[in-house]
């Protein structure tokens, strides 16, 4: 009966209720679409960054993250190998060595970031091997061949096929010095990176740097961003070595994680403002509709309706509108998010450049993550409940006689 | 048997800071089954007295006993309960709930008592039949005439079998023929169901048909 | 007269007007606050970059920017120096020797940019001197070096330790020199701290074998907004042997990001405006229907539709202006103390530092965006009143008078 009464009261002033409804739908759709695009794009960005180079997870020597030096290295023993092979969700893995060095060609020399890699393994873990610009990638066991950043080649005034000299401090602290042949260049669209990168075979790097069979990092590709925690736990418990750490992408790329957090927080902040503004609209409407009916309320109070029941009525009315608005908003929001999953927004030329600096795909994509719908609905419901409080309080304090006399 | 007793009732309003003596020293006893009309010119305090007797308002001084219980000191919640269980109200402007049909309006106070859906409907229909307004059951207030609305209001007032019905100028908005029918109805309820009625009115027809007449003037009872 | 009527009508239902007012105020205050924060973040990014090593204007030998090699030093630095000295817009400049190379400690090595500077000159164009957290800034001593905190951590060195720097010399062989670390600095950019070291210009010139030559002039102008004037002047005087870049040329992405942000502020304004419109339509509708009878009377005594329409629009407009005004004040009141103390976003600091912002954001208001918002809100209120006002003039006077 109370529900019926509330329902009919809503339709008594159709126009007003519809506008309020529209406001709720607007807020819900905006919020769901914006959150969808934000969270969807984050996942896209994370994937494209980690798949480019870092991998979803890395096995590192425990000091490597703070101090990436040759001494922070380890040997991939059978325990680690078994763990990697037996853990569900690990797609593949690739061992790496990293060192700084100096590259010289004729009278030109440059600082360089040297990576020793196994291209056959990397292909299954990361995508940078595909970024070959000219020439080709070496194979894992080919010795004394390197691939360099495109810009580095230009800066050295060298070309593919030339021989260069690499100088680097080895594991034992001595300076190593060796000739290499440039067999290809890579291009990521980021000058800083391309003017310093050198890739060589893992074995070549191990001999140049006197590393034996040690490596610095094993990059791992996982099947899903959401499985990282599980994989991490399993690997840790299988490897059980206090000298080794397993880190997920957010630890390896804290800048990316923090940038996402920052953007995320500013998104939530903005939605908060949006919802509060809509809440004021609801407050105003409910208050007006309540004050309009003071006389009616006075009569039912005189008949003996308890004050509390009357405040329930006010709440039920608002909740009904909010609920309908949320249902519609969720449906529209779902449709919009679904659309942007199928048809990601392709960014324009200039924004594209900006995105490429961070190695992001120049796209905005959405997601249908359940938590978005749930959180948005819950916040709007909560705030519309809160905005009812003042009108409901006015009703609670209403004296029957004052109501009857209200004009 | 005494149902209502007023003792030295005084009501003083503040009107823009100026005290207005609405009621002065009213003493009154009403017995079960009486049919009382409070008459008097406008401003004489009729509505104020009715509101005090119906526990809608509190006196400045004095006491009101309902079924020997002092209701002047009771809390809002308890008063609301008494009004729901024991009292019925009929207003000058009918004051039905506009979004509910006639039968739903009658069911409304039963709902407040927690009577189940089915029983409610049966009882409401039965009562409407008795009052000859069965055909109005599914009409909304704005589809009914004033007389029809007031009949529904009477039904709403008596559906919970109150011991006392208070009616504030119930005929003021009705033509004399319709008013006559309404009075017939209430007299019938008074005699058949032994419900006590207290009216406030300055309608001559109502006053003429009063079984007991109380005349108010300037906040005091003139006759008795 | 119409305005007066509108004004009085607003105050008839104070509570209702007040709630509409509050929503406008919240909207505007929110805009002012977000604007201040984002704008503050942007200009912090820009000024931090400028203050690190970008400066307002850089002068090199033509071709240096594309290929930063040792032999691309400035052919006649004295000529450049005298040009700058005669330019009244120039506040300060610093001559820099530039080299990329490797820095090695006993435990690790790292690729770096080695700047050779004259310490006094450099302290007038960059904040490196004031960013020293350990030890001291460069003085007149030879073979001294200051490095960033991140780099010191990576190399495992402290103030007082020795490190070896290696770089290509002019002749083409590898020159190396041992340096003593006399200071460690920490700036707002972790990338910069990881990559950049400073030594005495003389020492580096010797190490590279380039005589007394320099690679770069970093110039600070008196007014950075007039930097293009300086650029044009310097360019014409120096001729085509030199390349002259302003910070806008050197930081194209950052400049672009700032432009982008201005557009996104516009979108933000529109969304907040839309959210507000719902509330305004509803309130104005209610106030119109409440006064239908009154409007009927006004129409009956001969008030023209257009005037009635205008009156209702005025009511909304006044509410809009009033709300905007109060919102602006609230937003400013929030912003001003924050502009002094800053907002500490250290939870996100790593992210911010990698953008070169720093953990504490000081809101800065951009007048342009504020003006937009201030003009926009009353306009939104008027849009919200269009439909209710239309409803009002559609009334028939007779119906309206009899309306209850």
pLDDT tens for each residue of A373-391 = 999 999 999 999 999 999 9
The pLDDT value given to residue A317: 92
* C136: DSSP letter: -
The pLDDT value given to residue A293: 86
Report the distance separating Cα A171 and Cα A214, nearest Å.
10
The pLDDT value given to residue B85: 87
- Considering the domain boundaries, does residue A352 fall inside one? yes
Instruction: Please report the number of interchain residue pairs, chain A to chain C, with beta-carbon separation below 8 angstroms.
Output: 174
Which of A169-183, A354-368, C194-208, C275-289 has the least mean pLDDT? A354-368
**A160 in reach of chain B (CB within 8 A):** no
Closest CA to A304 of C56, C67, C365, B156: B156
Q: Are residues A102 and A236 in the same domain?
A: yes
Query: C164-203, pLDDT tens digit by residue?
Result: 998 888 887 888 889 999 999 998 887 888 889 999 999 9
The residue that leads in pLDDT, C353 or B15, is B15
Q: How far is C283 from chain A (nearest CA, A)?
A: 7
**3-state SS class at A110:** strand
Which helix or strand (DSSP H or E) is residue A364 part of?
A: strand A363-364
**3-state SS class at A209:** coil
**A161 in reach of chain B (CB within 8 A):** no
Which of A302-311, A343-352, C69-78 has the least mean pLDDT? A343-352
User: What count of other Cβ atoms lies within 10 Å of the Cβ of residue C398?
Assistant: 11
Report the distance separating Cα C319 and Cα B152, nearest Å.
45
Report CA-CA distances (Å) from B41 to A96, A139, A177, A404, B213: 104, 112, 119, 21, 14
Mutate to test the interface with A, among C32, C111, C276 (most CBs of A within 10 A): C111
Overall domain count for chain A:
2
Question: Could you list the residue range(s) of the whole structural domain that residue A360 is in?
Answer: 2-50+256-405
Structure tokens at B41: 């010119």
Q: CB–CB of B197/B36 below 8 Å?
A: yes
Q: CB–CB of A73/A215 below 8 Å?
A: yes
Which of C67-71, C103-107, C358-362 has the least mean pLDDT? C358-362
Q: How far is CA A40 from the centre of its chain?
A: 7
The answer to whether the CB atoms of A357 and C153 lie below 8 A apart is no
User: What count of other Cβ atoms lies within 10 Å of the Cβ of residue A125?
Assistant: 27
Closest CA to A398 of A292, A294, A285: A294
User: Can you tell me the mean pLDDT for A120-127?
Assistant: 89
A146 phi and psi angles, rounded to 5 deg: -135, 155
The pLDDT value given to residue A135: 84
Closest CA to C357 of A262, A359, A361: A262
Mutate to test the interface with A, among B75, B90, B99, B111 (most CBs of A within 10 A): B99
User: Can you tell me the mean pLDDT for A12-33?
Assistant: 89
Neighbours of chain B (3+ CB pairs under 8 A): A
Produce one character per residue of A322-354: b if its CB has 16 or more CB atoms within 10 Å, e if not.
Answer: bbebbebbbebbbebbeebeeebeebeeeeeeb
Report the distance separating Cα A348 and Cα C148, nearest Å.
37
The answer to whether the CB atoms of C68 and A155 lie below 8 A apart is yes
The pLDDT value given to residue B92: 83
* A142: DSSP letter: -
Q: Are strands B35-39 and B196-201 parallel, antiparallel or unpaired?
A: parallel
- Given a cut of 80, whether residue A357 has pLDDT beyond it is no
* A118: DSSP letter: -
- Give the model's confidence band at A260: pLDDT under 50 very low, under 70 low, under 90 confident, else very high: confident
- Give the model's confidence band at C353: pLDDT under 50 very low, under 70 low, under 90 confident, else very high: low
- Residues of chain A found within 8 Å of residue B95, distances taken between Cβ atoms: 295-296, 299, 404
User: Can you tell me the mean pLDDT for B77-86?
Assistant: 86
Report CA-CA distances (Å) from A83 to A90, A91, A235, A243, B172: 10, 12, 6, 16, 93
Report the distance separating Cα B107 and Cα B105, nearest Å.
5
Q: Do chains B and C touch (3 or more CB pairs under 8 A)?
A: no
- Given a cut of 90, whether residue B74 has pLDDT beyond it is no
- Given a cut of 80, whether residue A107 has pLDDT beyond it is no
Q: Does residue A304 come out as left (phi exceeding 0), alpha (psi in the -120 to 50 range) or beta?
A: left
**A309 in reach of chain B (CB within 8 A):** yes
- Residues of chain A found within 8 Å of residue C104, distances taken between Cβ atoms: 169
Report CA-CA distances (Å) from A200 to A112, A129, A181, B78, B193: 12, 12, 10, 89, 106
User: Can you tell me the mean pLDDT for A146-171?
Assistant: 88
Report the distance separating Cα C56 and Cα A351, nearest Å.
25
Q: Are residues A89 and A231 in the same domain?
A: yes
- Residues of chain A found within 8 Å of residue C153, distances taken between Cβ atoms: 66-67
Report the distance separating Cα A183 and Cα A193, nearest Å.
18
The answer to whether the CB atoms of C67 and A257 lie below 8 A apart is no
Rg (CA), chain B: 17
Q: Give the DSSP letter string of C326-354.
A: HHHHHHHHHHHHHHHH-EE-GGGHHHHHH
**C75 in reach of chain A (CB within 8 A):** no
Domain stops at, among A215, A241, A267:
A241
A111 phi and psi angles, rounded to 5 deg: -70, 145
Query: C190-239, pLDDT tens digit by residue?
Result: 788 888 999 999 999 999 999 999 999 999 999 888 888 889 988 898 88
The pLDDT value given to residue A373: 94
The residue that leads in pLDDT, A354 or A96, is A96
The answer to whether the CB atoms of A258 and C352 lie below 8 A apart is yes
Q: In chain B, positions 98-137, which contact chain A (CB-CB < 8 Å)?
A: 98-100, 104, 107-109, 111-112, 117
The pLDDT value given to residue C346: 63
Report the distance separating Cα C4 and Cα B78, nearest Å.
50
Mutate to test the interface with C, among A107, A108, A354 (most CBs of C within 10 A): A107
The residue that leads in pLDDT, C302 or C144, is C144
Closest CA to A166 of A129, A205, A217: A205
**3-state SS class at B9:** strand
**A342 in reach of chain B (CB within 8 A):** no
Report CA-CA distances (Å) from C315 to A23, C5, C25: 22, 9, 16
Q: In chain A, positions 8-27, which contact chain B (CB-CB < 8 Å)?
A: 8-9, 12
Rg (CA), chain C: 31
- Given a cut of 80, whether residue C250 has pLDDT beyond it is yes
User: What count of other Cβ atoms lies within 10 Å of the Cβ of residue C4?
Assistant: 9
Taking all residues of chain C, what is their mean pLDDT, rounded to a whole number?
Answer: 84
**C108 in reach of chain A (CB within 8 A):** yes
- Residues of chain C found within 8 Å of residue A277, distances taken between Cβ atoms: 23, 26-27, 272, 275-276, 279
Which helix or strand (DSSP H or E) is residue C228 part of?
A: helix C227-238
The residue that leads in pLDDT, B89 or A403, is B89
| Interaxial angle between packed helices B102-113 and B117-130, expressed in degrees from 0 to 180 and rounded to the nearest 10 | 130
Choose which CATH entry (3.30.9.10, 3.20.20.70, 3.40.50.300, 3.40.309.10) describes domain B32-58+75-221: 3.40.50.300
- Residues of chain A found within 8 Å of residue C281, distances taken between Cβ atoms: 19
Produce one character per residue of C114-152: b if its CB has 16 or more CB atoms within 10 Å, e if not.
Answer: bbbbbbebbbebbbbbebbebeebbeeeebbbbbbbbbb
Report the distance separating Cα A193 and Cα B26, nearest Å.
99
Longest alpha-carbon distance in chain C: 102
Mutate to test the interface with B, among A2, A17, A295, A303 (most CBs of B within 10 A): A303
Q: How far is A318 from chain B (nearest CA, A)?
A: 17
User: Can you tell me the mean pLDDT for A112-137?
Assistant: 87
- Residues of chain C found within 8 Å of residue A167, distances taken between Cβ atoms: 102, 166, 174
Q: How far is A281 from chain B (nearest CA, A)?
A: 24
Burial of A87 (C-beta count, 10 Å sphere; 0-12/13-18/19+): buried
Longest alpha-carbon distance in chain B: 53
The answer to whether the CB atoms of A4 and B104 lie below 8 A apart is yes
**C256 in reach of chain A (CB within 8 A):** yes
Report the distance separating Cα A26 and Cα C273, nearest Å.
12
- Given a cut of 90, whether residue B117 has pLDDT beyond it is no
- Given a cut of 90, whether residue C15 has pLDDT beyond it is no
Report CA-CA distances (Å) from A380 to A29, A271, A394, C283: 11, 10, 22, 21
Which helix or strand (DSSP H or E) is residue B8 part of?
A: strand B2-15
The Cα angle at residue C354 between residues A199 and C38, in degrees rounded to 5: 140
Report the distance separating Cα A68 and Cα A72, nearest Å.
7
User: What count of other Cβ atoms lies within 10 Å of the Cβ of residue B29?
Assistant: 12
Q: Are residues A8 and A93 in the same domain?
A: no
* C54: DSSP letter: I
User: Can you tell me the mean pLDDT for A307-321?
Assistant: 91
Instruction: Please report the number of interchain residue pairs, chain A to chain B, with beta-carbon separation below 8 angstroms.
Output: 61
Q: Are residues A261 and A286 in the same domain?
A: yes
- Considering the domain boundaries, does residue A251 fall inside one? no
Report CA-CA distances (Å) from C369 to A374, C329, C333: 34, 15, 17
User: Can you tell me the mean pLDDT for A202-207?
Assistant: 90
Query: Which among B76, B91, B99 has the least Cβ separation from residue A8?
Result: B99
Report CA-CA distances (Å) from B69 to B2, B64, B158: 11, 8, 22
Residue with the two structure tokens 């032994």 = B194
Closest CA to C50 of C138, C127, C123, C113: C127
Report the distance separating Cα C356 and Cα C52, nearest Å.
10
Closest CA to A322 of A2, A23, A13: A23
Q: How far is C275 from chain A (nearest CA, A)?
A: 6
**3-state SS class at B181:** helix
- Give the model's confidence band at C273: pLDDT under 50 very low, under 70 low, under 90 confident, else very high: confident
Q: How far is A266 from chain B (nearest CA, A)?
A: 45
- Give the model's confidence band at C93: pLDDT under 50 very low, under 70 low, under 90 confident, else very high: very high
The answer to whether the CB atoms of A19 and C67 lie below 8 A apart is no
* A348: DSSP letter: P
Mutate to test the interface with C, among A281, A290, A329, A384 (most CBs of C within 10 A): A281
Q: CB–CB of B82/B101 below 8 Å?
A: no
Q: Are residues A19 and A113 in the same domain?
A: no
The pLDDT value given to residue A407: 61
Which helix or strand (DSSP H or E) is residue A16 part of?
A: helix A14-49
Q: Are residues A209 and A270 in the same domain?
A: no
Number of H helices, E strands in chain A: 15, 14
Q: How far is CA A29 from the centre of its chain?
A: 21
The pLDDT value given to residue C351: 54
Structure tokens at A81: 């190998």
Q: Are strands A145-149 and A175-186 parallel, antiparallel or unpaired?
A: parallel
The pLDDT value given to residue C5: 76
**C300 in reach of chain A (CB within 8 A):** no
Q: Are residues A298 and A181 in the same domain?
A: no
The answer to whether the CB atoms of A285 and C171 lie below 8 A apart is no
The pLDDT value given to residue C400: 62
Query: Which among C167, C172, C256 has the least Cβ separation from residue A354?
Result: C256
The pLDDT value given to residue A220: 94
- Give the model's confidence band at B22: pLDDT under 50 very low, under 70 low, under 90 confident, else very high: confident
Longest alpha-carbon distance in chain A: 102
Which helix or strand (DSSP H or E) is residue A22 part of?
A: helix A14-49
**A1 in reach of chain B (CB within 8 A):** yes
Q: In chain C, positions 12-51, which contact chain A (CB-CB < 8 Å)?
A: 15-16, 19-20, 22-23, 26-27, 30, 34, 38
Q: CB–CB of A125/A185 below 8 Å?
A: no
């Amino acid at each position: 009966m109370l529900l019926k009464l509330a329902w009919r009261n809503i339709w008594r002033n159709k126009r007003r209720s519809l506008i309020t409804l529209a406001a709720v739908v607007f807020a819900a759709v905006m919020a769901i679409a914006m959150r969808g695009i934000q969270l969807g794009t984050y996942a896209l960005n994370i994937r494209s960054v980690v798949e480019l180079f870092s991998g979803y997870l890395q096995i590192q020597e425990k000091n490597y993250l703070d101090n990436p030096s040759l001494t922070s290295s380890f040997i991939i023993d059978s325990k680690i190998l078994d763990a990697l092979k037996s853990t569900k969700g690990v797609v593949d893995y690739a061992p790496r060595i990293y060192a700084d060095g100096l590259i010289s060609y004729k009278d030109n020399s440059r600082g360089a970031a040297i990576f020793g890699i196994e291209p056959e393994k990397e292909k299954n873990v990361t995508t940078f091997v595909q970024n070959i610009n000219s020439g080709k990638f070496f194979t894992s066991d080919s010795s004394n061949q390197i691939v360099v950043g495109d810009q580095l080649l230009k800066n050295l005034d060298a070309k593919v096929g030339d021989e260069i000299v690499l100088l680097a401090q080895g594991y034992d602290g001595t300076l190593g010095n060796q000739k290499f042949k440039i067999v290809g260049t890579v291009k990521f669209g980021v000058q800083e990176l391309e003017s310093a990168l050198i890739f060589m075979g893992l074995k070549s790097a191990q001999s140049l740097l006197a590393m034996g069979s040690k490596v610095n990092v094993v990059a791992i590709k996982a099947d899903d961003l959401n499985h990282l925690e599980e994989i991490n736990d399993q690997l840790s418990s299988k490897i059980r070595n206090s000298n080794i750490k397993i880190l997920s992408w957010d630890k390896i790329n804290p800048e990316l994680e923090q940038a996402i957090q920052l953007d995320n927080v500013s998104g939530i902040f903005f939605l908060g403002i949006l919802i509060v503004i809509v809440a004021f609209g609801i407050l105003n409407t409910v208050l007006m509709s309540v004050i309009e009916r003071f006389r009616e309320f006075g009569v039912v109070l005189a008949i003996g309706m308890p004050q509390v029941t009357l405040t329930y009525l006010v709440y039920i009315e608002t909740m009904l509108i909010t609920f309908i608005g949320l249902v519609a908003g969720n449906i529209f929001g779902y449709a919009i998010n679904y659309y942007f999953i199928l048809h990601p927004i392709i960014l324009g030329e200039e924004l594209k450049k900006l995105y490429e600096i961070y190695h992001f795909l120049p796209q905005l994509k959405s997601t249908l993550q359940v938590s978005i719908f749930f959180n948005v609905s819950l916040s709007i419901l909560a705030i519309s409940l809160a905005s009812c409080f003042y009108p409901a309080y006015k009703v609670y304090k209403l004296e029957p006689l004052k109501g009857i006399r209200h004009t | 048997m005494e149902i209502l007793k007023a003792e030295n009732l005084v009501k003083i309003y503040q009107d823009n800071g100026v005290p207005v003596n609405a009621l002065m020293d009213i003493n009154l006893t009403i017995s079960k089954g009486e049919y009382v009309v409070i008459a008097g010119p406008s401003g004489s305090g009729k509505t104020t007295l009715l509101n005090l007797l119906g526990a809608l308002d509190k006196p400045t001084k004095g006491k009101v006993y309902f079924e020997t219980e002092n209701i002047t000191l009771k809390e809002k919640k308890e008063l609301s309960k008494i009004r729901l269980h024991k009292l019925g109200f009929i207003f000058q402007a009918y004051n039905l709930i506009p979004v509910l049909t006639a039968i739903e309006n009658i069911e409304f106070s039963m709902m407040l008592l927690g009577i189940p859906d089915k029983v409610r409907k049966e009882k409401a229909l039965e009562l409407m039949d008795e009052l000859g307004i069965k055909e109005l059951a599914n009409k909304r207030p704005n589809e009914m005439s004033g007389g029809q609305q007031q009949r529904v209001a009477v039904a709403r007032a008596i559906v919970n079998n109150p011991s006392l019905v208070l009616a504030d100028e119930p005929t003021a908005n009705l033509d004399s023929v319709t008013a006559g029918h309404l009075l017939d109805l209430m007299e019938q309820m008074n005699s058949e169901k032994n419900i006590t009625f207290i009216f406030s009115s300055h309608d001559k027809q109502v006053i003429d048909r009063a079984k007991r007449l109380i005349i108010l003037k300037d906040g005091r009872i003139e006759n008795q | 007269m119409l305005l007066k009527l509108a004004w009085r009508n607003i105050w008839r239902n104070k509570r209702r007007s007040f709630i509409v007012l509050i929503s406008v105020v919240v909207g505007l205050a929110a805009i002012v606050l977000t604007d201040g924060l984002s704008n503050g973040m942007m200009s912090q990014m820009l000024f931090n970059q400028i203050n690190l090593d970008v400066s307002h204007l850089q002068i090199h030998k033509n071709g240096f920017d594309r290929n930063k090699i040792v032999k691309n030093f400035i052919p006649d630095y004295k000529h450049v120096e005298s040009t700058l000295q005669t330019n009244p817009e120039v506040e300060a400049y610093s001559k820099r020797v530039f080299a990329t190379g490797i820095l090695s400690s006993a435990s690790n090595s790292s690729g770096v940019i080695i700047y050779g500077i004259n310490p006094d000159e450099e302290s007038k164009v960059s904040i490196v001197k004031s960013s020293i957290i350990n030890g001291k800034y460069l003085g007149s001593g030879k073979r001294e070096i200051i490095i960033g905190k991140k780099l010191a951590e990576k190399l495992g060195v402290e103030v007082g330790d020795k490190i070896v720097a290696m770089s290509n010399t002019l002749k083409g062989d590898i020159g190396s020199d041992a340096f003593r670390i006399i200071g460690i600095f920490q700036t707002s950019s972790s990338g910069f701290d990881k990559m950049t070291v400073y030594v005495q210009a003389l020492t580096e010139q010797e190490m590279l074998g380039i005589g007394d030559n320099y690679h770069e002039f970093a110039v600070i102008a008196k007014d950075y907004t007039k930097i293009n004037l300086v650029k044009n002047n310097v360019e014409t005087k120096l001729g085509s042997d030199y390349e002259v870049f302003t910070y806008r040329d050197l930081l194209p992405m950052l400049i672009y990001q700032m432009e982008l942000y201005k557009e996104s502020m516009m979108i933000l304004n529109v969304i907040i405006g839309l959210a507000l419109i719902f509330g305004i339509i509803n309130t104005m509708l209610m106030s119109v229907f409440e006064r239908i009878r009154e409007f009927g009377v006004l129409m009956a005594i001969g008030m023209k539709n257009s005037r009635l329409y205008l009156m209702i629009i005025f009511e909304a407009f006044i509410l809009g202006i009033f709300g905007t005004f109060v919102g602006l004040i609230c937003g400013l009141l929030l912003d001003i103390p924050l502009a002094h103390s800053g907002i500490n976003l250290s939870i996100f600091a790593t992210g911010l530092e990698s953008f070169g912002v720093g953990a504490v954001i000081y809101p800065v208001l951009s007048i342009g965006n504020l003006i937009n918002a201030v003009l926009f809100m009353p306009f939104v209120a008027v849009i919200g009143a269009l439909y209710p006002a239309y409803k009002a003039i559609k009334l028939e006077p007779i119906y309206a008078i009899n309306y209850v």
